[in-house]
Structures are given as structure tokens and as C-alpha cells.
Structure 1
């Protein structure tokens, strides 16, 4: 009982206090809701509106609107017109900026492609490695081939699928001006048994002539300007045209052995290629020094002690017979030569060699292409044959792969004489011709 009397008042006091606290909280909540409603009504955009000055009550806004509607209708129309004009101007400026950004991105891409290209090509061939012991280090000579892109010329791609062997073939350009030489050309190719060759016909007559002789032929689609050169141009004009045409073959992923038609085939050239370089070409040189290079000493006596200057020299590659692998440097070579010939009045062979051999220097980036010179006794020019080989009883027993009648204007009779000498065994077939030309 004593315990009950002591605890009773305490418990009643605690219950009363607890009820009082609950009522205070309820009052606070109610006051907060009321204040919130007031602010929501008076300030529908909030206390910190960023779009213009604080709003007034609905009653004041209505009064202002009724008082100013008549005077502001004209101003609103003018304002809308001004805003539309500004919008159009901003849209045009935005389009111009987007175009400039795209152009800048393209320029950056091109600059990035050109930067450290040699190093990128090396990295593309494999991972970086340490140098080996002295005398064992050899750099890579073969650039990777491009990914074939049949969208470049689907019609040509289908022809090459049938004609090429191991994705390589001989290609010659011809128009009606070289019909007789072309016949000697493909007759000997057939005799040797070379299946992978193609004539790019530059006019309809040659296309029909090839078809009638069961010669693989490709007639290009009409191309204004280019076609006029192909149909009526002489040897040099057609020779310049080939650099543009060959690009598609490489883009399609095929290796090309470009051949002029003043060439007699005596063996299959594909059995004698190394395929370790971007460009493998026959030479205009006539001996080891001129064909493969030599140290030539230039003498200038007035320089006294320094009168002798050493130079490295070699005779040029022949632009009428060369093998190209489908690599980026090979395609770049074709682009460079074709671009220069389109704006310069120059000999294609000179431009071909300048782009191949001139090194990088101030204001000029040289071509990073691997090169190989063909054996000049196997891939023989007509100077070697008529000046040296035919007079040497040891050398004239060697059967060349091809003979290119590039040094002489009387091409057709010399081509026929080459066939008589090497194919039919007529020993005196080459004797009637002079070493050089009569003019």
C-alpha cells in the first residue's frame, strides 16, 4: 500500500507531461502547414525565383494585366518578331560552328594519321622488342597489307576473283594505238602458261579485240577527261594514267605486276619475285653499278683539299614494269605520282622515281616505302640485250624472264626478233639491229 501511494502521483504526473508534449507537436505541425499554404499562394515560384522579379498576389497581377493589356499588345508582337529573328540568327551561327568543329575534327584526324607514321607502321607489325646481339638485328621490310574493300569497285572485284592467282596478277593498259604490240604481248603470255593476267581496255575496239582472242579484259566505266587520254593518248599519256587506275586494284587487296605492252614474256615472272617490299621494280641500269648503286666521286679542283665529294648514284626504276603489294605506302606512291602528273607537265617515270627515292627534308615528307631492284639479267631492258648480252656467248645463253623493249622506238620488230631468238632459236635474229636507235 505504501508503495502504491508513492508511485500513484508520479505516474499521473508523467502521463500528463506526455500528453502536453504531443499537443505542442501537433500545434507546431499545424502552424507549419498554415505558413506553407500562405507562401504557396503568395509565392508560387518559390522564394528564390531565377526567372524574373518576385511574383505578386493574384489580385495585383490581375489588376496589372487589365490595365496594361491594351498598351502592350503591340509591344508583344514586336518582341516576338525580334525573338524569332534572334532565334534564326543563333541557329545559323550554331550550324556554322558545328561545321567548323567537324572540319577541325577531320584536320585533327589527318594530322594524327600523319604523325609518327613510321613508328606506327613498325608497331602495327608486332610488339616492341629488345635489340639482339651484334650482327643479328634485321628490320622488317614488308609493310602489312590493307584490308580489302570491295565497295570500291564491285564489278572489278568479281573479275579479279576469277583471274587472279594467290591474289596477284599482271595488269596492262592498252588502246588501239598499241594493238599489234598487245598481240605479241598476250600471245607470249599464253605460250608461257601464265593464267593470271588482265588487260585494262581504254577503248571499245581493244575490249572487243581481247574478247575475240579469249584474253581477260576489263573495260572501265566512262570517266570524262581520263577516257579521252586513254582513247587517244600516246605511250607517255597512257603511262601516266595507269597510276590512277592501279589504285583500285590495291584497294581491293590484290598485288599487281604492272606491265607495258612492249614486253616479251619468256618465263612466269611470279616464280622470280621476292615479295618482301612494297615496290619491286626492274631497272634501267645495264650493269651491277648502274642497276644496284655505286659511290660516285665528284671532283671540284678549286676546293683544294676538299675537292672530292662522294655521291651515291643508281639508274632509275622503270615505270613500265613493277610489282606493287597492296600496302599503304604503295597506295600513297600511286596517289603522289597521279597528283603530280595532274598538275605538272612531267614524265611519269621521273616523277615515279622522285617520289620513291627523295628523302624527307625541310618542307617535304619522303615516302616510307620498302624497295627492291629486280635482277637486270632476268628482268632485262633492251639496252642490256642489244648492247651487251647478244654479243656475249655466255650471257646470251641465259634465258631472261622478260625482255622490255624500252630503250628503242622500233619496238614491234625488236619484240618479234626477241621471240625468234629466245623461243624459236634463231641465233642471228638480233644481229640486224643497231645497239641504239637510228635517231
Structure 2
């Protein structure tokens, strides 16, 4: 730990100080022994002079000196032992003190490290809390911005709906006051042809009884060998001569021309795309509607009225509710009437106001919802096409496939509305109904 590393030099200095103290003590012991020996010699000599005794013989002097030396040595040994004992005790005390100081220093270092770790943990928690607050503030800002955008979009949609409702109401009033039937066919005229002479000339050339089969093609359908190519070949094999391609992309126009099919590229306003472009292009025909259903039984395709079992508010008088599957905006027939013009204008304006809206929902609301305080209906006459003649791909692959009786019934038209892998299923459908391959549909569910 960093604090322990900082204490290492302090410990080394204390151990060095302890060694120096021991050296001083041993030097003092040796010096004391030497001084004691000299003092003994001087004491013996002075005693001899004081008493005035006769000079001893040499042997006696030596013996006396040896005896004195032994006594002094014994005395010095005792003194040295006492000093050594004192030194040992002093060393023990000093060692104990140093050990206690070291333990205290380690405890202080551990406490400091613990405090540092606790401070770091608190700092980390504070940083995390700050990050969470920052993230929350950022989310709130984004939500406020999104709410402002949605409010602006809703405001624009309300303005557009009000404008369109006024337009539709004006048209309806005009039709009633002028005694024109809003559902009668509007025949071609030089005045109407002048708005788009090129398209008018193409329609006069292709239409049979003023009717054409229109395929509205986007960029994804246009590559050679794609869905537009398959559709065009199937139409030609079926002998349909009044088919026309509304190409929303130059590539689709080139493919249609390569197939020698009548085609045009509509001029769309406001950067329209996708479903918006489809309804805007159809506004050039002004028609009532016959649409295919997403249903798969009589009840789901054509609708039913039944008791609402979920309504618990009136147990003695059950309420009724109407149910039906939606109409398909991908396969429908339109007739040139004033009501149909109001319909496509209404759908186009709503999709332009809300590009992200669901075109299927917009299509069904405009046709099926009655006039109310929230909605003004364009008043079209709508009819549901026979769901087994104009069949959706969900019904085909879930009910018809594998049923010997239903498989022998040739539909008029098949709409691939329920599956994403459209191209391989188109190949299978053509092989089954045109090339008479009875196993062509078996690999799909």
C-alpha cells in the first residue's frame, strides 16, 4: 500500500538508531572495565605506601598483584555483568518502544489507507450519482424536444385536417346543391385532358371501357428479374391488355418499357413518396372504391355485428359491436367519381401532414369511419371484393394450400400483403397457377 511504502524509510532509520545504541553501550562497558583495573592498581600501591610496611619480595609482590588482579577481575566481571544486564534491559525497553511505535505507525497507516479508500468510494458514488443526474437531465431534455416536435406535428395535422374537412364539406355541398350525383362516373373531357395531356393520351389508348389495371411501382420492385418483371410477364400471359405501370422511380419506368408495357412517371408534389405518392397518383382518376380484404372468412372479410361480451356496464341490455378485417390499400378498384376524388384528396393530405403515419390505417379510416365531430367522411360507396377471388397471401398459404377443393379454384388476383419474402412466393404462385406445378406452394407456410 502507498502508506506502508512511505513508512519503510522511517523503519530503517529506527533500526539503524538501535544498532548505534548497542555499540555505545558495549564501548562504555569496556571503558569502565579498563578504568576499574587501573583504579585497583593505584589503590594497592597507595595502601602499601601508607602503611609503611617493608618492601615485599618480588614473588610476594607478584602474588599480591595477581591476587589483586583476580579480585579486580571478579569485581570488574560483576560490574560488566551489571552493565550488560542494564544494557540488555535498556535494549529490551528500546526494542519494545520501537516495536510499539512501529505498530502504532502501521495502525495509523492502515487507518489512513482505510480513510483514503472510503473517501475514494464516496467520490466514486458521488460521480455515479452525478452521471445519473446528468443522464436524467439529458433524457428530460430529449423528451421535451420530442414532445415539442409531436405537439408541432399534431398542430400541423389538425390544421391540415381542418382545411381538408372544409374542402370535403365544400365539395359535398357543391355536389348536392348542383344536383350532381357524387357517385356517377365522370367521363373524359377535353378540359380534364388539358391538365395532363400525355397521361390522357396514354389512358385513351390503353383503357377498355374507361378502365385500366394500374400497378404503382416503387424503386424496390424495379430491378430486372424483380417483382415488376414477374408481374408484367404474368399480366401479359393472362392476356390483360389494359394494364399500365405508374413508375415512381426511373428504373421502374425503364423495366416497364423493356417489357413493352404502357407506363408513365407521375409528377408528384411536395416530395411525396411511398403510400403518399400512390394515392396522389390515383387522384388523376377520381373513383369510388372496391377493395380487397385482409380477412380469411366471411365474418372477418365482410364484417359482422355481435354482442359485446366484454361490456359489463349494461348487463340487462347487451350492447352490439361491429367487427371486420381492414381493407387493403395495396389492391383496390376505383371508379371516376366525385366521391373518390374527395377520398384520395383526404388520404393524400393526411399522409403529407404525417409522413410516418400508417397508410393502411389512413385508408380504412377514410372509407369506413362515419361522419362525426372528429371525422368528416368523403362519403364513398365501398364494396369488399370476394376474398376467395381477390385473395391475400395469408389466406392462400394458410387455408388454400393443402386443401384439394380450394386449390382447384383459380383466383382472379393474388395480393402478397402478408409476407416479407414476396419474390420467391411470386415465383411459386406463378408456377402453381400458370405452369400447373402442384407442389410449387408446398415449401412455404
Give 3-state SS (helix, strand or coil) of 2:180's partner.
helix
Please name the residue that 1:319 is paired with. Answer: 329
Please name the residue that 1:285 is paired with. Answer: 295
CA distance in 2, matches of 1:341, 1:112: 19
Alignment of 1:163-174 (within 5 A): 163-174=206-217
CA contact (8 A) 1:176 1:206 kept: yes
Q: 1:372 aligns with which of 383, 390, 393?
A: 383
Deviation string 1:343-386 (CA, Å, 9 cap, x unpaired) is: 12311111011010111112532221111111111100011111
Q: Tell me how far 1:301 sits from its aligned partner.
A: 6.5
CA distance in 1, matches of 2:250, 2:167: 40
Q: Which runs of 5+ in 1 are unaligned?
A: 1-108, 126-140, 230-237, 256-277, 435-439
CA distance in 2, matches of 1:111, 1:370: 15
Please name the residue that 1:332 is paired with. Answer: 342
Deviation string 1:206-260 (CA, Å, 9 cap, x unpaired) is: 222222221211123475623xx3xxxxxxxx2331111111233xxxx6xxxxx
CA distance in 1, matches of 2:360, 2:185: 26
Choose between structure 1 and 2: higher helix proportion: 2
Please name the residue that 1:407 is paired with. Answer: 418
CA distance in 1, matches of 2:438, 2:390: 21
Please name the residue that 2:248 is paired with. Answer: 202
Please name the residue that 1:95 is paired with. Answer: none
- Tell me: CA distance 1:115–1:336, structure 2 relative to 1, closer, same or farther (3 Å): closer
- Tell me: CA distance 1:249–1:360, structure 2 relative to 1, closer, same or farther (3 Å): closer
Give 3-state SS (helix, strand or coil) of 2:362's partner.
helix
Q: Tell me how far 1:114 sits from its aligned partner.
A: 5.0
CA contact (8 A) 2:247 2:264 kept: yes
- Tell me: CA distance 1:304–1:329, structure 2 relative to 1, closer, same or farther (3 Å): closer
Please name the residue that 2:308 is paired with. Answer: 298
TM-score, with normalisation over the residues of structure 2?
0.57
CA distance in 1, matches of 2:169, 2:295: 39
Q: 2:204 aligns with which of 149, 161, 164?
A: 161
CA distance in 2, matches of 1:216, 1:393: 38
RMSD between superposed Cα atoms in Å = 2.5
Q: 1:418 aligns with which of 426, 429, 441?
A: 429
CA distance in 2, matches of 1:243, 1:357: 17
CA contact (8 A) 1:201 1:218 kept: yes
- Tell me: CA distance 1:144–1:199, structure 2 relative to 1, closer, same or farther (3 Å): closer
- Tell me: CA distance 1:313–1:117, structure 2 relative to 1, closer, same or farther (3 Å): farther
Q: Tell me how far 1:300 sits from its aligned partner.
A: 3.5
Alignment of 1:167-316 (within 5 A): 167-179=210-222, 180-221=226-267, 225-226=271-272, 229=273, 238-250=274-286, 278-300=288-310, 302-303=312-313, 305-306=315-316, 308-316=318-326
CA contact (8 A) 1:301 1:307 kept: no
CA distance in 1, matches of 2:400, 2:388: 9
CA distance in 2, matches of 1:404, 1:279: 17
Q: Tell me how far 1:145 sits from its aligned partner.
A: 2.5
Larger radius of gyration: 2
CA contact (8 A) 1:239 1:320 kept: no
CA contact (8 A) 1:300 1:307 kept: no
Deviation string 1:66-119 (CA, Å, 9 cap, x unpaired) is: xxxxxxxxxxxxxxxxxxxxxxxxxxxxxxxxxxxxxxxxxxx97994565675
TM-score, with normalisation over the residues of structure 1?
0.58
